[in-house]
């Protein structure tokens, strides 16, 4: 937000220009991040329908963290290879503030009570939808409104 200086002088115009330039730089960085996020999601979607394969990172087979790892790596963002290690990256985000490009983490094994699954948010609004690789459906888009995923949800994190 650009605020007007309270005093009128030549220095006021300089201060206003510096603030405007700073705001413009911020928007440029955000635009770059938005382009990266769109590219990451678009790449992840190219794997839709790929079968699940533990440890997989290709169209021959993909696991959940492999999908996220591979998609971010295409934009030269290197994340850890496992969902548990990924769950410590970036910054925590509340579910009400989750945005496209954020990562959702799940505890799907209640006995172990540890992060065991990750998904990449592709849409927000009425529903939060995420792309991931499930053992039953392979790479697919699911909704956080689905009872299974809602119950298993642990937290969200923002990388970009």
Asked if 92 is an active-site residue, the reply is no
Which helix (H) or strand (E) covers residue 61, if one does? strand 61-62
Segment holding 71, helix H or strand E: helix 64-73
- Nearest residue to 128 via CA among 87, 100, 153, 152: 100
- Contact between 121 and 128 under an 8 Å Cβ cutoff? The reply is yes
Is 135 in the active site?
no
Selecting among 86, 132, 149, 156, the annotated active-site residue is 132
Q: Which of 44, 64, 98, 131 is catalytic?
A: 64
118 pairs with which residues across the strands? 105
Q: Taking the mean position of all CA atoms in its chain, how far away is CA 43?
A: 13
Contacts for 129 with CB less than 8 Å, ≥ 6 apart: 121, 122, 123, 141, 142, 143, 144
Whether 117 is catalytic is yes
Please tell me which residue in 117, 130, 133, 152 is annotated as part of the active site. Answer: 117
What residues are annotated to the active site? 64, 117, 132
């Amino acid at each position: 937000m650009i605020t007007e200086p309270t005093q009128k002088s030549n220095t006021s115009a300089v201060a206003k220009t510096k603030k405007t330039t700073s705001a413009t730089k911020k928007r440029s960085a955000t635009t770059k991040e938005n382009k990266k996020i769109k590219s990451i999601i678009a790449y992840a979607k190219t794997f839709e329908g790929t079968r699940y394969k533990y440890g997989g990172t290709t169209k021959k087979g993909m696991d959940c963290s492999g999908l996220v790892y591979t998609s971010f790596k295409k934009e030269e963002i290197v994340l850890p290879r496992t969902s548990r290690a990924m769950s410590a990256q970036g910054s925590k985000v509340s579910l009400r503030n989750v945005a496209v490009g954020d990562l959702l983490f799940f505890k799907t094994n209640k006995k172990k009570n540890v992060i065991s699954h990750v998904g990449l948010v592709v849409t927000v609004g009425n529903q939060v939808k995420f792309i991931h690789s499930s053992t039953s459906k392979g790479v697919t888009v699911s909704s956080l409104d689905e009872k299974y995923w809602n119950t298993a949800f642990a937290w969200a994190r923002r990388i970009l």
